[in-house]
Amino acid sequence: MKASTPSPQRIALLGAGAWGSTLALLAQARGHWVQVWDRRKGWDLREVVRGSDIIISAVSMAGVRPVVEAVRQVGIPPRAILVSATKGLDPLQLLTPAQIWAATFPTHPLVVLSGPNLAAEIRQGLPAAAVVASRNPEAAVQVQHALASERFRLYTSSDPLGVELGGILKNVIAIAVGVCDALQLGTNARAALVTRGLAEMIRVGSRLGARPETFNGLSGLGDLLATCHSPLSRNYRVGYGLGQGKPLGQVLAEIEGTAEGVYTAPVVVQIAAQHGIQVPITQEVHWLLQGQTTPAAALSRLMERQLTSE
């Protein structure tokens, strides 16, 4: 079924990076009136969000709290739908981006947008799909129809936490897969790592209240496969560089944009410790990022773990 032509809406896009710019292009192609805000250029946030029907946040995780506070100060229309498209975790309170938005704007409908969406491919006009999830089904459908097109298919979900965590947790696994490929460990090792990485994502998500089946969808397995199989993925490139023996600082300097998995790994380790969750892959990635282990040593520990059932 083709996406219907929506009524033109006023959409504010917060964040002018690769993903934010891509979402802006998708919205403009649907005939909406779109305004983009870039905090680095000092643009007037009040003017950007004024009268908006939908406000999409696509800033990096480090920018979420400052942007939320800035939006709170200028105010937003009472019926505006908030959409979170950031894939990271807050290291201060161990919250997801959507949870930070919800705490500040509890009366506004909140939608999470996530999926296997490499921005460069979408800008080339290549087909892609994603999920818009919300506890407010009407809000999810409104965002779905606002952004969906013949090249960008959107599905709705009623599990925003699961959809959001899928996009967050897979970044850490992608770093591990990048290391695996750099070490030329082969297809068997890669398949095992991706599969056990998904199991690790489901353990964390389920313990935090997400539905396990959500991780088998686009925002979990789908995003994991895309991120672990493409050199366009910044997180995969971080792992690949570390696997080649490069220091983390050099790897990050060679990558344009933010590799959220670098900052997500220590937060996931902390959450796992609090809840008693086994996250061996994430733990090894964290130690590797901290310079506390080597790729070879990390592999040895993963292979030597106590045998158990799947």
213: domain CATH number?
1.10.1040.10
Q: What torsion do the CA atoms of 291, 91, 66, 109 make, to the nearest 10 degrees? A: 130
In a domain, residue 1? The reply is no
Q: Mind listing the pLDDT tens digit of every residue in the chain (310 residues)?
A: 455 566 899 999 999 999 999 999 999 999 999 999 998 888 899 999 999 999 999 999 999 999 999 999 999 999 999 999 999 999 999 999 999 999 999 999 999 999 999 999 999 999 999 999 999 999 999 999 999 999 999 999 999 999 999 999 999 999 999 999 999 999 999 999 999 999 999 999 999 999 999 999 999 999 999 999 899 999 999 999 999 999 999 999 999 889 999 999 999 999 999 999 999 999 999 999 999 999 989 988 887 776 677 7
**Among the listed residues 213, 203, 16, the one whose alpha carbon sits nearest the alpha carbon of residue 119:** 16
Say yes or no: 132 and 207 in one domain. Answer: no
Say yes or no: 241 and 293 in one domain. Answer: yes
The DSSP letter of residue 220 is I
* Domain CATH code at residue 106: 3.40.50.720
Structural domains in the chain (count)? 2
Which structural domain, as residue segments, surrounds residue 209?
A: 161-303
Q: Is 170 a catalytic site residue?
A: yes
The residue from 2, 87, 170, 246 that is catalytic is: 170
Say yes or no: 150 and 189 in one domain. Answer: no
pTM, to two decimals? 0.93
* 184 within 8 A of 160, measured Cβ to Cβ: no
* 211 within 8 A of 201, measured Cβ to Cβ: no
Q: Beta-strand (E) ranges in the chain?
A: 10-14, 33-37, 54-57, 81-84, 110-114, 128-133, 152-157
Say yes or no: 14 and 154 in one domain. Answer: yes
Tell me which amino acid residue 213 is: E
Q: Alpha carbon of 17 to those of 21, 22, 38, 82, 306: distances in Å?
A: 6, 8, 8, 18, 43
pLDDT of residue 1: 43
